[in-house]
Chains A and B, each alone.
Chain A
Amino acid sequence: EVQLLESGGGLVQPGGSLRLSCAASGFTFSSFAMSWVRQTPGKGLEWVSVITSRGGKTFYADSVRGRFTISRDNSENTLSLQMNSLTADDTAIYYCAKGADWTAQSYFDHWGQGSLVTVSS
């Protein structure tokens, strides 16, 4: 059974940093692209970033490019998202999502339970 377990969310001040992690199990992690998707009541679902299966390519939404960095450790089956220069607009539930294949062009066939990030002073 595919399982994706996010951690690292919490309350952070504007301008601060936070690192999210996603522990994956139940599938061959190194064979699939992985993404972060966030959700807010106001903006709905917003794709944030994707990394291909071996980490060779990464892509970002314009709203986070230059501030967020996606990475993966295929030896530890872990996906990460380093978030810097956070603003109130980054407040959301962040989901780790598994791609259906190794490429960056894929839908999401499994999602984690989500991790809440709140940016507030």
Chain B
Amino acid sequence: DIQMTQSPSTLSASVGDRVTITCRVSESINRWLAWYQQKPGKAPKLLIYKASSLESGVPSRFSGSGSGTEFTLTISSLQPDDFATYYCQQYDSYSPRTFGLGTKVEIK
């Protein structure tokens, strides 16, 4: 199976900070990568698909980049509503879809 390595596992930041989360993949997946946000007790919510496409309704402060085996999620100016856990997920071909272990964004 394709392995996903997210870093950091925890990130402490302040409102207004620029935040970057990295997802490294064990083999090339072109741009078949999605990012999700999850808050405690809630289901994940889609933010980004195809590495850099912003899901409808998601604020433009979220952006994604990368291709192949390295991807990033950037929050340009962290807002109070953004404190949550973020997951990357690959959906390359018919291989099992796999998720990263998550990055928890905490208040500094």
Interface size range on B against A? 20 to 34
Instruction: Give chain A's interface secondary structure class.
Output: strand
Instruction: Give chain B's interface secondary structure class.
Output: loop
Q: Enumerate chain B residues within 8 angstroms of A109, measured Cβ to Cβ.
A: 46, 49, 55
Q: Enumerate chain B residues within 8 angstroms of A68, measured Cβ to Cβ.
A: none
Q: Enumerate chain A residues within 8 angstroms of B93, measured Cβ to Cβ.
A: 105
Number of A-B contacts (CB under 8 A): 53
Contact call B89/A59, Cβ cutoff below 8 A: no
Contact call B43/A45, Cβ cutoff below 8 A: no
Contact call A44/B99, Cβ cutoff below 8 A: yes
Q: Enumerate chain B residues within 8 angstroms of A105, measured Cβ to Cβ.
A: 32, 91-94
Q: Enumerate chain A residues within 8 angstroms of B49, measured Cβ to Cβ.
A: 100, 107, 109
Q: How far is the CB of A61 from chain B (nearest CB, A)?
A: 5
Contact call B94/A45, Cβ cutoff below 8 A: no
Contact call B99/A47, Cβ cutoff below 8 A: yes
Q: Which 7 A-B pairs have the closest CB atoms?
A: A111-B43, A107-B34, A45-B99, A47-B97, A107-B49, A44-B101, A109-B46
Where the two chains meet, the residues of A that have a C-beta atom closer than 8 Å to any C-beta of B are 35, 44-47, 50, 59, 61-62, 95, 100, 104-114
20 extra interface residue pairs, beta carbon distance < 8 Å, beyond A50-B97, A108-B36, A112-B43: A35-B97, A44-B99, A44-B101, A44-B102, A45-B87, A47-B96, A47-B99, A59-B94, A61-B96, A95-B44, A100-B49, A105-B93, A105-B94, A106-B91, A107-B89, A108-B89, A109-B49, A109-B55, A110-B46, A113-B43
